[in-house]
Structure 1
């Protein structure tokens, strides 16, 4: 059934759709309603959603958001449109709105695992880790081989202190995606907190190798490895650690921020050691743009 809308909305939609409203043959404006083609409106909503998605790819969220919101009005029965809006809210850290939109998408299509994973991410950011786990598991029932979903589930277990379960999920994700270095990196984070420095170093070396293999320089395992090597104490390890740390921070200076590291699940032991490392004169010099002391090794 065609939807009925008020005059102001009709004029807006007509101009938006490049359709001219019919003239009223009278000297005064007579209130009236106009029936619009629901199928055409829905199609326009999907077009708007595509535009919003393209804008989001370029991180133009301020332009993407109003298009996505309007798209949900024009195509309210499209789970993809609601999923897009939820994703934009998630990117903008409007978590309650993200959850509401994603739940709407879920009610329209309960078979899309990405909706469950996105909901899990929203709950994770709200520090509702058990709720996040529940959503990740539901998504993995649909797509049990999703490496990112397994990784996210591992992170939620990690935050609840369920470390064996976290490592198990990380290993599963690597099994399905061999070059998935973030999972290798996070196993290193856990091992370091447990005092297993040798195997933590091994994990970070593997993570760096995997990242380089796919031409994706990774600052995180490189900095973690630098800190671990420096703290191991030998002169050669210290020199190598300094050079590697300088190089890591030139890749991504955000890793010089302890709060950022904490958000990336760095534990108490590694944060304490990293704080001391970042205060070293050569590391401070690197952050201030001075030349590297020597090439970083692997």
Structure 2
């Protein structure tokens, strides 16, 4: 992939090339550099496209400088600022993400995706009321967006507005029958409310949609184990942790909105010898062939 020169270096190089050779004892006449702003903007949009493609392949470190330069070359493109803000979100640089996304929103207030991204940024800062406001604004523009509905449900969840959270999760599932994260989170709420049977049904439904979904599979494993179905619970727990070992970390589970009751039971479950063995197997490097 070609290397892209910084704007200052580019301008400096152009200005040097445009200067005439000096005659002896003759003062240099300054030349005004004429920039083709349309061409520069087009280069910026091309860079943004490259950055977006790199981001799709999780190459954020390569995408970031391209996106920053693209924002300089095409400062009036809300899509470029949205891309840059999204990259900052991925790198957890939340303040810069919000600044870039606010710029995108000022250029195009009708872009619902920018509002959803601003909601996510404020959610990561634990500003749940502000996050809910952005999600609500985005949903006014895209009322049937399943991810926006889910995110608003999560904000309500963190604000302890549990009926409202469930209502948003239900709406998300209406829009997308296979949107198992919303079904999973209804299970999380039901479990904390003491309705374990309803929670188990939700997690079973989520796993039926995606058998590789580690989160509802582990939650179901813990619930079944504590219900008395120990062998089934252990087998499911082993499978879940082999799929994604991150779910063996209680802090990671808390980030994923697992409540105190489920976390306490999961802590004991993770300490069981068979589950410990599954975790260690996941952490061990594969033998060389």
**Conserved in 1, the CA contact under 8 Å of 2:19 and 2:31?**
no
The residue correspondences of 1:167-178 to structure 2 (distance < 5 A) are 167-178=166-177
Give yes or no for contact 1:52–1:68 (8 Å, CA) kept in 2. yes
Residue 289 of structure 1 deviates from its aligned partner by 1.7
Q: Find 1:26's aligned residue among 9, 18, 22.
A: 22
Are the equivalent residues in 2 in contact too, given 1:48–1:68 (CA < 8 A)? yes
| Post-superposition offset of 1:33 | 3.7
Once residues 26 and 227 of structure 1 are traced to their aligned partners in structure 2, the CA distance between those partners, rounded to angstroms, is 82
Structure 1 residues 288 and 151 mapped into 2: Cα distance closer, same or farther (>3 Å)? Answer: same
CA RMSD of aligned residues (A): 1.8
Aligned to 2:3: none
Tell me which of 199, 217, 228 is aligned to 1:222.
217
Alignment correspondent of 1:247 = 239
Residues 128-166 of structure 1 show CA distances to partners (whole Å, capped at 9, x for unaligned) of 001000000000000000000000000000001000000
SS at the partner of 2:187? helix
Which of these residues, 251, 270, 287, is aligned with residue 279 of structure 2? Answer: 287
Note the residue ranges of structure 2 that are not aligned, 5 or more in a row: 1-6, 283-289
Question: What number of residue pairs does the alignment pair up?
Answer: 273
In the TM superposition, what is the alpha-carbon distance from 1:31 to its structure 2 partner? 5.7
1:8 positional shift: 4.4
| Alignment partners' CA distance in 2, 1:155 and 1:251 | 24
| Distance in structure 1 (CA, Å) of the matches to 2:189 and 2:213 | 18
Matched, 1:111 2:110: yes
After TM superposition, list the pairs within 5 Å mapping 1:246-265 onto structure 2.
Answer: 246-265=238-257
Give the 3-state SS of the residue equivalent to 1:266 in structure 2: coil
State whether residues 139 and 145 of structure 2, in contact with CA within 8 Å, keep that contact through their aligned partners in structure 1. yes
Distance in 2 of aligned mates of 1:147 and 1:248: 25
Q: Distance in 1 between matches of 2:55 and 2:115?
A: 20
Partner residue, 2:287: none
Contact kept, 8 Å, 2:18 with 2:31, in 1: the verdict is no
Paired residues of 2:43 and 2:73 also in contact (CA < 8 A): yes
1:30–1:195 Cα change, 3 Å: farther
Distance in 1 (CA, whole Å) between partners of 2:45 and 2:269 is 51
> What runs of 5+ residues in structure 1 fail to find an aligned partner?
1-5, 291-298
Contact 1:7 1:33 (C-alpha < 8 Å) held by counterparts: no
Equivalent residues of 1:7, 1:32 under 8 A apart: no
SS in 1 for 2:120: helix
Cα distance in 1 for residues equivalent to 2:107 and 2:122: 20
Shift of the 232–40 alpha-carbon distance from structure 1 to 2, 3 Å rule, reads same
1:231 match: 226
- 1:110 deviation in Å? 1.0
Taking structure 2 as the reference length, what is the TM-score of the superposition? Answer: 0.91
Match of 2:268 among 276, 279, 285: 276
Q: 1:20 to 1:39 in 2, by over 3 A?
A: farther
Conserved in 1, the CA contact under 8 Å of 2:196 and 2:223? Answer: yes
- Find the aligned partners of 1:20 and 1:49 in 2 and give their Cα distance: 28
Q: For the structure 1 residues 185 and 21, does the alpha-carbon distance in structure 2 shift closer, same or farther, using more than 3 Å as the test?
A: same
Spell out, residue by residue over 1:79-112, the C-alpha distance to the aligned partner (whole angstroms, 9 max, x if none).
0000000000000101011001001000111111
